[in-house]
Amino acid sequence: MNTTDQAYARIVQLNDERTATSMAKQVKDPESRFDGGVFDDTVGIAQANHVSTVSDLISWISSYVNPDSAHYHSIEVAERINRAVAFLLRRQHKDGTISLGSTNYHSPPDTAFIIVGLLQVHPLMKKDETSAIRPVCEGIETFLRRAVPAMRIGGCHTPNHRWVMTAALGGLHQLFPEEEGLVERAEEWLAEGLDFTEDGEFSERSNGIYNAVNDIMLYYAALYLNRPELLEPVRRNLNMMVYLTHPNGEVVTDYSGRQDFGNKATFVNYFLIYRLMAVKDGNGLFASMSDEAAKAMTHPGSSENQAMAGLLMYPDTQYLNVPRQPLPEQYEVMLNEHHPYKEQREQLKRVGHHGIVQHSAVHSAYGHPVGRYRDGKESATLMAAAPSFFSLRYGAARLLAVKWSTAMTPGIVAMDSLKKEAGSYHMKATLEKGYNGPLPTHARGKDSTWSLMPHQLRPLTHVQTHEVQVDIEHMENGWEFNLKAGEPEDVFTQITFLFSAEGELKGNGLQQTTNPQQFLWKNGDVTYESGQDRMILSGAAQDHTVELIRTDAHPLDCLAISINLLTPFEHRIRLTLEERKE
């Protein structure tokens, strides 16, 4: 490996550090069923899954086979590896699966995550050929062969699981070409069609976790199955992610459909796939993104996307020769602007599952528009079909969300649409609520149990329609919000600005509620400061004194400022950005 590759040197160091710290947590008790596993502090036991023991195992193997590692051909590491593989084999169920632990017992997709990870280090061990590692190769091959039946017939839960299963099936076919049905099963998953928009968004809209999973799994599937067309959504997603990164390296998670929603996440999980695709396409933008991800990396990654194993498995020295392209720091883009999300909403009513996908989610927000504005340290996100419609980073000052809550439905309003016209952003939502009449004669049964009645057949009475709208315009030193709502009259409405708790709020017109971190904004300006950066809100109102709209809730780690409005209304709020003056 070229020693001028700074990313490689950093990841060798990180992987060696992880090897040392995780080996210290390995259970060494022959009487324990967890012997050989790595103790997981978050659950209090060792687990044989892709984010715990197997992830550590892959770090150890990567250190053992790497001549640049401080643990290269270490006898102690070899012993630890053998013990961990024995643990993995004991925890594998008779049907060939493993259990995730936090959920998903006897899980084909979670087994597939492990398979893909082990397939990255198996060739490295075969090539190493030391006697200490030979039993490990045999043990891993045993695990993989036992898993074949589960992959051949197993199902999944989430959209990304399909591509994890596909990658695992393709890799097993390469390793065991005599096993029948693996490619055919992969083709069944692929026949469903790949779920990506023209701009590269996947179904789960998970910029912090599952985009990277989809990307790396489709890369492996393309490689194993000789299907280069599977790389097209990868390219599009990687291009999209360039515009979903804040100045500090965090990615936008404000509209995710998965557990990264609203949480801090960086793009370090994209390190390997950006690097692989930079070499494949000679793409300087991808190379620059991979470089930045390497600088932010503090951990080599989970088993299926392990940076050290990936660099050893695919040691392409051409990466250093890809001309770097500067990353954009000033842009204004609309993502999914032309996606037919309205047509999809209508199809959803007719598809037949009635919004229920067993053990999963519908992800009906897929394809809705997202606006991104970036200028230096200012980074704003505008979004439809999400719990909030606006978020903003200005240096150290973080406005995590602006949300609209109404007593109409009641609860948070997710905007139906987002359009950009003449330099302004326009969002709308239409809410309806009526009352259920008696069941028609033909729908009445002998059973009076409420839960067994065909409520979908009840006629609606007194249906009320409520339209809301927000127009957002970027000004020279901030943003302006024009909020509009019509009939019915006297609908309690609350606009809430959620700021990160590490900052400080100032304002004489703030009234603290029973929640010590929530304030009603009655009058005057409000200032939020963090570090050297400041946001100033103008446009207070208090048309009513409701502290929290029914079914709404604020995150515990936020400072919430709520403006109380009563319909009908048109109200303007100004958000000014400035640096603190010493």
- Please give the helix or strand (H or E) that residue 496 lies within, else none: strand 492-500
Q: Is residue 16 part of a domain?
A: yes
CB 30: neighbour CB atoms within 10 A? 8
Question: CA 182, CA 391: separation in Å to the nearest integer?
Answer: 45
Task: Provide the pLDDT confidence category of residue 433 given band limits of 50, 70 and 90.
Answer: very high
Q: Which of 310, 330, 350 is the last residue of a domain?
A: 330
Q: Say if residue 99 is in the same domain as residue 192.
A: yes
Q: Is residue 367 part of a domain?
A: no
With beta carbons less than 8 A apart as the criterion, state whether 301 and 272 touch.
yes
Question: Residue 3: its pLDDT value, please?
Answer: 40
Angle at 217 between CA 15 and CA 118, to 5 degrees: 50
Question: CA 124, CA 147: separation in Å to the nearest integer?
Answer: 21
Residues whose CB falls within 8 Å of the CB of residue 126, separated by 6 or more in sequence, listed in order? 137
Q: Where are the beta strands (DSSP E) in 178-336?
A: 330-335
Question: Residue 374: its pLDDT value, please?
Answer: 96
Q: Which of 315, 330, 345 is the last residue of a domain?
A: 330
DSSP string for 379-437: EEEEESSSS-SEEEEETTEEEEEEEEEETTTTEEEPPSEEEEETTEEEEEEEEEEEEE-
Question: CA 511, CA 477: separation in Å to the nearest integer?
Answer: 27
Question: Residue 4: its pLDDT value, please?
Answer: 57
Q: Say if residue 319 is in the same domain as residue 401.
A: no
Question: CA 51, CA 100: separation in Å to the nearest integer?
Answer: 9
Q: Is the predicted pLDDT of residue 139 greater than 60, yes or no?
A: yes
Instruction: Kindly report, residue by residue over 482-515, the tens digit of the pLDDT.
Output: 999 999 999 999 999 999 999 999 999 999 999 9
Question: Residue 405: its pLDDT value, please?
Answer: 96
Q: Where are the beta strands (DSSP E) in 116-203?
A: none
Q: Where are the beta strands (DSSP E) in 437-477?
A: 460-475
Q: Phi/psi of residue 477, each to 5°?
A: -130, 35
With beta carbons less than 8 A apart as the criterion, state whether 57 and 92 touch.
no
Q: Which of 98, 360, 388 is nearest to 204 (CA)?
A: 360
DSSP string for 82-116: HHHHHHHHHHS-TTS-B--SSS-SSBHHHHHHHHH
Question: Residue 109: its pLDDT value, please?
Answer: 94
Mode of pairing for the β-strands spanning 39-40 and 45-46: antiparallel
Instruction: Kindly report, residue by residue over 29-58, the tens digit of the pLDDT.
Output: 999 999 999 999 999 999 999 889 999 999
Residue type for 133, please? I
- Whether omega before 488 lies within 30 degrees of 0, making that bond cis, reads yes
Q: Is residue 371 part of a domain?
A: no
Q: Say if residue 317 is in the same domain as residue 408.
A: no
Question: Residue 265: its pLDDT value, please?
Answer: 84
Instruction: Kindly report, residue by residue over 336-363, the tens digit of the pLDDT.
Output: 999 887 888 788 788 777 777 777 777 8
Instruction: Kindly report, residue by residue over 230-260, the tens digit of the pLDDT.
Output: 999 999 999 999 999 999 989 999 989 888 8
Q: Is residue 181 part of a domain?
A: yes
With beta carbons less than 8 A apart as the criterion, state whether 229 and 314 touch.
no
The count of structural domains within the chain is 2
Q: Say if residue 169 is in the same domain as residue 257.
A: yes
Instruction: Kindly report the CATH number assigned to the domain that includes residue 498.
Output: 2.70.98
Question: Residue 353: its pLDDT value, please?
Answer: 78
Q: Is the predicted pLDDT of residue 203 greater than 50, yes or no?
A: yes
Here the tokens at position 198 are: 């023209």
- The proportion of the chain whose per-residue pLDDT surpasses 90, expressed as a percent, equals 81
Residue type for 574, please? R
Here the tokens at position 546 are: 């409701």
Distances (CA, A) of 447 to 5, 307, 411, 444, 561: 73, 60, 33, 8, 49
Q: Which of 549, 542, 409 is nearest to 492 (CA)?
A: 549
Q: Phi/psi of residue 528, each to 5°?
A: -115, 125
Return the SS3 of 52. coil
- What is the gyration radius of the CA atoms in the chain, in angstroms? 27
Instruction: Kindly report the CATH number assigned to the domain that includes residue 155.
Output: 1.50.10.100
Q: Say if residue 395 is in the same domain as residue 297.
A: no
The answer to whether the pTM exceeds 0.75 is yes
Instruction: Kindly report, residue by residue over 148-179, the tens digit of the pLDDT.
Output: 999 999 999 898 999 999 999 999 999 999 99
Q: Is the predicted pLDDT of residue 407 greater than 70, yes or no?
A: yes
Q: Say if residue 317 is in the same domain as residue 403.
A: no
Question: Residue 582: its pLDDT value, please?
Answer: 65
Mean pLDDT of 441-453: 90
Q: Say if residue 427 is in the same domain as residue 551.
A: yes
Mean pLDDT of 59-63: 97
Q: Say if residue 280 is in the same domain as residue 392.
A: no
Which one is predicted more confidently, 106 or 364?
A: 106
Q: Is the predicted pLDDT of residue 206 greater than 80, yes or no?
A: yes
Q: Is the predicted pLDDT of residue 543 greater than 80, yes or no?
A: yes
Instruction: Kindly report, residue by residue over 547-580, the tens digit of the pLDDT.
Output: 999 999 888 889 999 999 999 999 999 999 999 8
Question: Residue 346: its pLDDT value, please?
Answer: 81
Question: Residue 237: its pLDDT value, please?
Answer: 97
Question: Residue 372: its pLDDT value, please?
Answer: 97
Residues whose CB falls within 8 Å of the CB of residue 154, separated by 6 or more in sequence, listed in order? 97, 108, 109, 111, 112, 165
Residue type for 420, please? K
Q: Is residue 106 part of a domain?
A: yes
Q: Say if residue 105 is in the same domain as residue 176.
A: yes
Q: Is residue 188 part of a domain?
A: yes
Task: Provide the pLDDT confidence category of residue 1 given band limits of 50, 70 and 90.
Answer: very low
Q: Is the predicted pLDDT of residue 366 greater than 70, yes or no?
A: yes
Task: Provide the pLDDT confidence category of residue 581 given band limits of 50, 70 and 90.
Answer: confident
Q: Say if residue 304 is in the same domain as residue 395.
A: no
Mean pLDDT of 521-530: 96
Question: Residue 357: its pLDDT value, please?
Answer: 79
Question: Residue 2: its pLDDT value, please?
Answer: 44
With beta carbons less than 8 A apart as the criterion, state whether 208 and 251 touch.
yes
With beta carbons less than 8 A apart as the criterion, state whether 100 and 108 touch.
no
Q: Is residue 364 part of a domain?
A: no
Give residue 467's domain range. Answer: 387-579
Residues whose CB falls within 8 Å of the CB of residue 246, separated by 6 or more in sequence, listed in order? 252, 379, 393
Q: Is residue 422 part of a domain?
A: yes
Q: Is the predicted pLDDT of residue 425 greater than 90, yes or no?
A: yes
Q: Is the predicted pLDDT of residue 306 greater than 90, yes or no?
A: yes
Q: Which of 302, 330, 358 is the last residue of a domain?
A: 330
Residues whose CB falls within 8 Å of the CB of residue 48, separated by 6 or more in sequence, listed in order? 37, 54, 87, 88, 91, 92, 98, 99, 114
Q: Say if residue 222 is in the same domain as residue 111.
A: yes
Q: Say if residue 148 is in the same domain as residue 74.
A: yes
Contacts for 452-461 with beta carbons within 8 Å, 24 or more apart? 460/434, 460/435, 460/436, 461/434, 461/435, 461/436, 461/437
- Please give the helix or strand (H or E) that residue 350 lies within, else none: helix 341-350
Question: Residue 156: its pLDDT value, please?
Answer: 92
